[in-house]
Structure 1
Amino acid sequence: MDLSESARAVFAVLAGASTATRPRLAADAGLSKPTVSSAVAELEAAGLAAHSGTAAGAIGRSAAVYRLGPAAGAVLAVDLGPDRTRVRGCALDGTLLAEGDGTRAEAAGTVRAVLSELPTDAPLRTIVVAVGDVTTRDGTRMRPATAKAGPVYDQVAVALPPGVPVHLENNVNCAALAELHQGAARGRDTFGYLRIGVGIGLGVVIGGRVLRGANGAAGEVARLPFPWDESREPRREALEEHIGVRSLLRRTAEAWRDGDGPCPRTAERLFALAGEGHATALAMVGRHAADIGRLAAAVSAVLDPGLIVLGGAVGANPQLLPGVRTALAELSWPTEVVSSALGDSGTVVGATRLAVARGIQTVTGVGTGRH
């Protein structure tokens, strides 16, 4: 969009603040009051800013308050999870406009439903889709060697409006971004987000930025060699198979005794039984916690992150914390371990933040630094 440099700076500040007076815009953008007045007038003429009332000043004077205008537009964030699809539409100041949640099979319909609720006068600036795959550095496609979400993404892509930029991002990276800004890692600029669920993954945050790696595959701990055993050769993604929820439930079924009652078919039921003090369930949760603690020790040995946030459908369960902390303490130097503060919503929260940052960039033509 053809905006003056000062108008771009004021727009970025206004998007970050939601509402602001001209004095605040001048202070935050580092511009003079006359320059801000001209920039605001330019944004208003383009429909990118709008007057939204007045605020009383400290000495009795009132100041005009501005917000984003309808032409600023909206963004869409889509989390293509292994079981659920979560979708959010937001304004460029992060205000939630619409959201939806459906099964994986309902992904395209969930996207269409959220799109139908967005304001018709708000242009869609960008779309971020979180996938359980390694993506290219420019976020335009998934790497063929991983491409687990391909068929579902193809269905969703048909539902996306043509002509709108689409950025693909790894779901664990999105969740790590959310924990950094809104979750358990607030105030910590270096940490690891370890997701344990159907699969496993690691989001690495160094100096307040998500580490992507040379191939976009930083944190792909599923590729760690496993098992390390003289009698068995390591297999590709065997560690993910061992720690993933399917193996947890299989091992539970093998260990379940006749007098234990009905064998749990879901991780939620297993943890519920453990919470009730069921001996076999407690043993299985303890064994799983020890396995996760060993993985956390490997992460700590390589990254020394200082903090590991446990997330995912299984990993976020606080019953795992004591066992993970014990195993990690036995194998590595002191590293804090906490449960995710965002739970299942972490990925879509992070994808939304990334979409907002990219949406602002489409208007201003410059990076925002907010992601």
Structure 2
Amino acid sequence: MQLSESARAVFAVLAAAGTATRPQLAAAAGLSKPTVSTAVAELEAAELAACSGTVSGATGRSAAVYGLGPAAGAVLAVDLGPAVTRVRGCALDGVLLAEGTGSRAEAADVVRQVLKELPTGAPLRAVVVAVGDVVTQDPEGTGARPATAKAGPVFDAMAVALPPGVPVHLENNVNCAALAELHEGAARGRHSFGYLRIGVGIGLGIVIGGQVLRGANGAAGEVARLPYPWDEGREPRREALEAHIGVRSLLHRAEEAWQDTGEPYPRTAERLFALAGEGHTAARAVVARHAADVGRLAAAVAAVLDPGLIVLGGATGTDPQLLPGVRAELERLSWPTEVVSSTVGENGTVAGASRLAVARGIQTVTGGTRAKH
């Protein structure tokens, strides 16, 4: 389908607005009203736009209101989390059409379920898959395979459920969550910040000027690769910092702290934080040490980026008990930097992936005209 330049511009504006009159489309696209009328007629003929009603103006005259047509299609966003897979299907104006959740092993089944719930006949324009891995982007912006084996097998199993010929784009899951914080979370209204995820692993989403910084190798924010430790007599090991701050080490420290208590030690981070919230002495000490470790990582982020704001996310990073200790350690080691907890919750990654999928879907229809995300 080859659209005129004006039709592509009007479609991108209409997708971003959801609904609009022709005067509104003309103002947003910077086109004359006659040009917009011709473009709208072209989009209607292709069923990419449709009249959804009328609205009365201040003068009493009515104007047709347009929305996306049935041929605009839908997009799919997939969050291949470490334990849970979340999938959303959205229209190109961002409206949620279907969603599903399952275990990581059930990724293909969840994708099939959501695809069945999309409107019949609606073409699938793009798929964005959020993976816990480095993602290399080619010059055209198309995602390659995950750079390591972390996501590979699960991605391969999920990919067979996708319709053939649909563009599939990969994105790092932390970058997706950072986008969600930017547009609908704790960083709304802030154009530059760092999203620091602390959970099973660690990662950093870097937003500069409202855009995610990906780096030359698609690996910007891979703080797991920071050299650690830097003590005499101990050589830094690959991803040793992630091993130190991740959940496994946190629970190992809890086990050590419980040795002289005569009590069973907490076997999950959720139980550890719950005990700390109840005032348990050993739990509070372990959580305080964890907060200091995260604060030192935040200080490293501040030293390199000076982002002004750091949003803490992830399974353990979002617990409010960490905030005081992180803030105190960061203040001790670096300059003033605001630190807040994530507000998008466990759906942040798939929400950010949905926004990227919508932008990719619009590009597919318009032949490369970029949409804001």
Normalised TM-score (structure 2): 0.97
State the partner residue of 1:351. Answer: 353
C-alpha deviations, 1:196-231, integer Å up to 9, x for none? 111100011111111111111111000001111112
The change in CA–CA distance for 1:260 and 1:182 in structure 2 (over 3 A counts) is farther
Matches within 5 A, 1:1-371: 1-138=1-138, 139-144=142-147, 146-257=148-259, 259=261, 261-371=263-373
Q: CA deviation at 1:143?
A: 4.9
C-alpha deviations, 1:87-126, integer Å up to 9, x for none? 0000000000000011111111111111110112210000
- Contact between 2:146 and 2:152, CA under 8 Å: does it hold in 1? no
Q: CA deviation at 1:36?
A: 1.0
Q: CA deviation at 1:258?
A: 5.1
Any unmatched runs of 5+ in structure 2? Answer: none
- Measure, in 1, the Cα distance between the counterparts of 2:240 and 2:259: 27
Aligned length: 370
- Measure, in 1, the Cα distance between the counterparts of 2:199 and 2:345: 12
- Contact between 1:133 and 1:142, CA under 8 Å: does it hold in 2? no
Any unmatched runs of 5+ in structure 1? Answer: none
- Measure, in 2, the Cα distance between the counterparts of 1:135 and 1:260: 46
SS of 1:98's equivalent in the other structure is strand
SS of 1:159's equivalent in the other structure is coil
Q: CA deviation at 1:31?
A: 1.2
Give the residue type in structure 2 aligned to 1:230: E
- Measure, in 2, the Cα distance between the counterparts of 1:368 and 1:21: 22
C-alpha deviations, 1:27-85, integer Å up to 9, x for none? 11111111111111110000000110111111211111110001000000000000100
- Measure, in 2, the Cα distance between the counterparts of 1:324 and 1:147: 32
- Contact between 1:313 and 1:343, CA under 8 Å: does it hold in 2? no
C-alpha deviations, 1:322-347, integer Å up to 9, x for none? 00000000000000000111011111
C-alpha deviations, 1:163-186, integer Å up to 9, x for none? 100001111111111111111111
- Contact between 2:12 and 2:369, CA under 8 Å: does it hold in 1? no
- Measure, in 2, the Cα distance between the counterparts of 1:101 and 1:247: 28
- Measure, in 1, the Cα distance between the counterparts of 2:260 and 2:111: 46
C-alpha deviations, 1:229-268, integer Å up to 9, x for none? 1121110000000000111011101111454643211111
SS of 1:309's equivalent in the other structure is strand
SS of 2:194's equivalent in the other structure is strand
- Contact between 1:134 and 1:147, CA under 8 Å: does it hold in 2? no
- Contact between 2:8 and 2:369, CA under 8 Å: does it hold in 1? no
SS of 1:23's equivalent in the other structure is helix
Normalised TM-score (structure 1): 0.98
- Contact between 2:128 and 2:354, CA under 8 Å: does it hold in 1? yes
- Contact between 1:134 and 1:142, CA under 8 Å: does it hold in 2? no
- Measure, in 2, the Cα distance between the counterparts of 1:336 and 1:367: 36
Give the residue type in structure 2 aligned to 1:292: V
- Measure, in 2, the Cα distance between the counterparts of 1:211 and 1:131: 16
Q: CA deviation at 1:369?
A: 4.0
Give the residue type in structure 2 aligned to 1:335: T
SS of 1:250's equivalent in the other structure is helix
C-alpha deviations, 1:119-144, integer Å up to 9, x for none? 12210000000001111113432354
- Measure, in 2, the Cα distance between the counterparts of 1:11 and 1:369: 10
% identical aligned pairs: 79
CA RMSD of aligned residues (A): 1.1
Q: CA deviation at 1:370?
A: 1.1
Give the residue type in structure 2 aligned to 1:263: Y
SS of 2:27's equivalent in the other structure is helix
- Measure, in 1, the Cα distance between the counterparts of 2:333 and 2:264: 36
- Measure, in 1, the Cα distance between the counterparts of 2:62 and 2:278: 60
